[in-house]
Structure 1
């Protein structure tokens, strides 16, 4: 009997990318752009036309190994957020509030599960558009898996409707502070401009995505379970806990948007939420501490995956080949007609997002180079921002170097192979919407 080949474990995939990045430092010439501090965005941006080759700096085997712990350390703020989120949500789960809330929802939407999932997708898309929600979903995965089982949908379809909708909101929306707003600032485009145009394609893309997984996501192996306590009411303390969770997310969004919050501030507010939930849920001091530690242990692997994604970037950066990759990808589009140049930029941004998984980092790397190209080709700089949004943003659903998606899949016990097999067709359609948007934008923003 022939055994079915086992797809590599997520950690194997990430380490393979670290090795590949190391090999590339021996193949791709080293080079760099000069940089200056931009007073508007308060970030270092590259100076167009300043690229030059430098002395080769290939990364040796020992340095490659060192980059593994260095990557985890470099991503410590995100790793800590993941651990604290995991602990806080585990405490909420221990109080029974999540299960009670899900039973309440399933009861209310028993004959309209499609409406329930559609509402879920819209909420996640709004969060993606407002604050680029991704890593925060990792801690929600256990709850999403329970929801999937109880409404008869596959795990992949519920992850797609949650994570996928958040990525679509961040990629197509007009207000993601970590991508579109940074890109508009660096490209010297009015912030929030082109909002109506973006919203039209956001609605089209999100509508397609949700409908696709509603139609294909029914779980024939594990249909709706019949063992739910058909709750018609939520206990007062469950209502209070769920309200506290919702309020914490609301405060986080305000903090990110108005108070210049980062990962540490988010960690702090969720840590406080966990303590309050433990008190409200009468877990006691020791019970709350134990639940926190158990939640940490559930999320350690997801945190390591995020750290390994940073390791890939650190290897490429030490070998000084990232600027060479950027130069090689974007130089050819300069002599193309406007529409072709815009599509070429989107494709180049998508490819670049593999070695540069940070959307904000990619914005400050590429916008100073592409804004003058837009001027030369006669297109609006708004088109350059759109090409960046779609190319970099949508690749978050594909590239293993995005630690968030790999951690979410790992937490949901979904292999990367199964994810790609289920999602590659609708992802291609999303890229099609992006391409159509760019062609229309060339005309619309003249």
Structure 2
């Protein structure tokens, strides 16, 4: 009797292709429509409420579907090359042994309390996401944390979660994030960064849930590696010394100088984004410069630095290409002009609810819209001019509407394929394994979102 073949999860690229086909089909079913847009005082293109109108059906042909991949790569070029340049800098510090020496030094000092790295790092990245809106800037660090986590007896999920979940949850539970809260409150006509106290409470609750969840999983697999969702899976990671080897490595002058360069780079990144208005192009430029500088400090020749850059590019190519391929889904929806139609349908449905039910409806609606508009700022500019007045009509304050947008836009970034596929590419994780890990957490966070949103309505937030 022949053994039944076990189901094998398709390649990530195959899954994205299937989703692209489904999106192309929907583009031919959902009517095309658009809102009128005007430029606000800050130069943002904001939709005009009650201006929705249908346009001639555009749809998506088979040729257009395949063309979306090419356009997706063009649209994503900025992110793709940013990931490569950011990782190249980190890769130099891996090649010269700085990270191994640094982790070894930390291990010697903290001993068995090494698990504290999980809450400490998650809080750090959470604060960066919550206050400054950092997200893409952390991509280059993910492979490093994965390698370090595996060397410490954890798995790639733990290493990736420390950064991905840390910054994503912080970004979603934003306190003064200018790219989400700032824009949403401005568009909704709410005083900038008002209601901060309640958002700080939300940040503490959501970060606490996330840290508990990752920490619990990490401790479980450290005691019994077979409990890992990746047990038996071959995960490609950076070559990293074992825990015992790390503890034997002493910090050399080169390692110390490299650490200073790393701290200086992070400091410049923060200063540039806060004070100078830097974004991806400027930060990528910083990484290019520091890659060369750190290579010279490490006494690598120019040719060796070039070889290291090529190695780093090869390591990140899987994830970088996934960024471009994933973008094809958004390209089809934008070209077919079905995004505004979905937003209009959801806003129309919300008008049938009242009070707390309407607030919950907004949360569900914003979660759905985040599939179509993964950009936090983009979602605020499209949805807030519509949902803020709709909320007032049904007894929900504009402040609560912003909170519903914040929760709906942010937390689904750890679940919706439009974000997860790219992050799994960077982490080199099988998509089904990530979903097995993160689905219970997402459901817990979603339940907490409902409770906190309901409490906001009750207290008249």
CA offsets per residue over residues 59-82 of structure 1, 9 Å max, x none? 111111111011111111111101
Give the stretch that moved more between structures: 74-83 or 143-152.
Answer: 143-152
The match for 1:305 is 322
2:9 to 7, 10, 22: 7
Report the CA distance between 1:280 and its aligned residue: 1.0
CA offsets per residue over residues 196-236 of structure 1, 9 Å max, x none? 11111111111121112211224323899553242485323
Q: Where does 1:399-414 land on structure 2 (aligned, <5 Å)?
A: 399-402=416-419, 405-414=420-429
Give the stretch that moved more between structures: 356-365 or 10-19.
Answer: 10-19
The match for 1:421 is 436
The match for 1:29 is 31
CA offsets per residue over residues 219-260 of structure 1, 9 Å max, x none? 323899553242485323212212222222222222222322
SS at match of 2:418: coil
The match for 2:130 is 129
Q: Where does 1:128-207 land on structure 2 (aligned, <5 Å)?
A: 128-207=129-208
Q: Distance in 1 between matches of 2:266 and 2:412?
A: 26
Distance 1:106 1:287, change over 3 A: same
CA contact (8 A) 1:107 1:232 kept: no
CA contact (8 A) 1:383 1:442 kept: yes
The match for 2:289 is 272
Give the stretch that moved more between structures: 216-225 or 58-67.
Answer: 216-225
CA contact (8 A) 1:127 1:166 kept: yes
Distance 1:307 1:232, change over 3 A: closer
The aligned length equals 443
Q: Distance in 2 between matches of 1:399 and 1:313?
A: 13
Q: Distance in 1 between matches of 2:143 and 2:448?
A: 31
2:454 to 414, 439, 442: 439
Q: Distance in 2 between matches of 1:188 and 1:247?
A: 39
The match for 2:73 is 72
Q: Distance in 2 between matches of 1:323 and 1:334?
A: 17
2:279 to 258, 262, 269: 262
1:221 to 217, 225, 233: 225
Q: Distance in 2 between matches of 1:160 and 1:194?
A: 29
The match for 2:236 is none
CA contact (8 A) 1:152 1:225 kept: no
CA offsets per residue over residues 261-308 of structure 1, 9 Å max, x none? 221011001111111110111112111111112111211221221122
Give the stretch that moved more between structures: 182-191 or 73-82.
Answer: 182-191
Q: Distance in 2 between matches of 1:426 and 1:345?
A: 21
Give the stretch that moved more between structures: 27-36 or 100-109.
Answer: 100-109
The TM-score, its normalising length taken from structure 1, stands at 0.95
Report the CA distance between 1:427 and its aligned residue: 1.2
Q: Where does 1:281-296 land on structure 2 (aligned, <5 Å)?
A: 281-296=298-313
The match for 2:18 is 16
CA offsets per residue over residues 120-176 of structure 1, 9 Å max, x none? 111111121133333333322321122212222222123223211111111112122
Give the stretch that moved more between structures: 108-117 or 261-270.
Answer: 108-117
For structure 1, the residue ranges without an aligned partner over 5 or more in a row are none
